[in-house]
Amino acid sequence: MAFDFKKEYKEFYMPKNKPSIIDIPKMNYIAVKGKGNPNEEDSDYKKSIGLLYSIAYTIKMSYKGSHKIDGFFEYVVPPLEGFWWQDGMEGIIDYNNKNSMNFISIIRLPDFVTKDDFAWAIAEATKKKKQDFSKVEFLTYDEGLCVQCMHIGSYDDEPSTINLMHEYMKEKGYELDINDKKYHHEIYLSDPRKCDVNKLKTVIRHPIKKA
């Protein structure tokens, strides 16, 4: 049976729908940066998703091709994630002003995938798909201590869950630690094209520090 990150690391991907404190270890990701309204038809965001999945599946299938990755095991591609911020907002997301959004779309890489493996996947996808993958990066991110919660429902309704998270962290003696290197973080467990908007499951995570 294929290794599924969501099942093996439930504390990272399947939290309860009430806030909790968690320490996130350093992880490697495939990443694409962009900006603008993610809902627009031809947005940077929607383009980034296609780029990410092309590379993610090129790496996943590499054991069947000419490139062999050391330590390879069969796995399910982890869920899409995203870091989000707006300039000058100090960690607060204005959901009514999506045109000012900045993002880094990411998909987690298994620990055994190296930068050389990533570089091979970029070259392989470029050759096979005749597409420009120069925006795709290898990103190592050390998130550290966070407050997180499962949000169920529309993305636009996230502020209610975020308020609960912030109240919880203050009760536990923490304060928000969002800055130019630590972001509002979302993990998408539902496909919005196939799921009722009221049933969308999204992990929301904010970096924190002792008050």
Averaged confidence pLDDT in the chain: 93
Per-residue pLDDT, averaged over 166-179, amounts to 97
Q: What is the pLDDT of residue 152?
A: 97
Beta strands in the chain (DSSP E): 3-4, 20-24, 27-35, 75-76, 80-86, 101-108, 137-141, 144-152, 174-176, 184-188, 201-210
**Structure confidence at residue 2 (pLDDT):** 87
CA angle 1, 64, 129 (to 5 degrees): 115
What gap in Å lies between CA 173 and CA 48, rounded to an integer? Answer: 37
Q: Give pLDDT tens digits for 51-102.
A: 999 999 999 988 665 566 777 788 999 999 999 999 877 667 888 899 999 9
| Domain boundaries 3-7+15-210, CATH class | alpha beta
What's the confidence (pLDDT) of residue 113?
93
Q: What is the pLDDT of residues 138-162, one digit of tens each?
A: 999 999 999 999 999 999 999 999 9
Sequence length of the chain is 211
Q: Which residue has the tokens 């996943």?
A: 60
98-126 mean pLDDT: 95
More confident residue, 70 or 180: 180
- Decide: 54 and 129 in contact? Cβ < 8 Å: yes
As to burial, measured by CB atoms within 10 angstroms (0-12 exposed, 13-18 middle, 19+ buried), residue 36 is middle
Does residue 3 come out as left (phi exceeding 0), alpha (psi in the -120 to 50 range) or beta?
Answer: beta
Can you give the residue ranges of every domain in the chain?
3-7+15-210
Average pLDDT rounded to a whole number, residues 182-188: 97
pLDDT, mean of residues 21-29 = 98
Q: What is the pLDDT of residue 203?
A: 98
Question: According to the model, what pLDDT value does residue 93 have?
Answer: 83
pLDDT at position 94: 85
* CA nearest neighbour of 95 among 211, 204, 208: 204
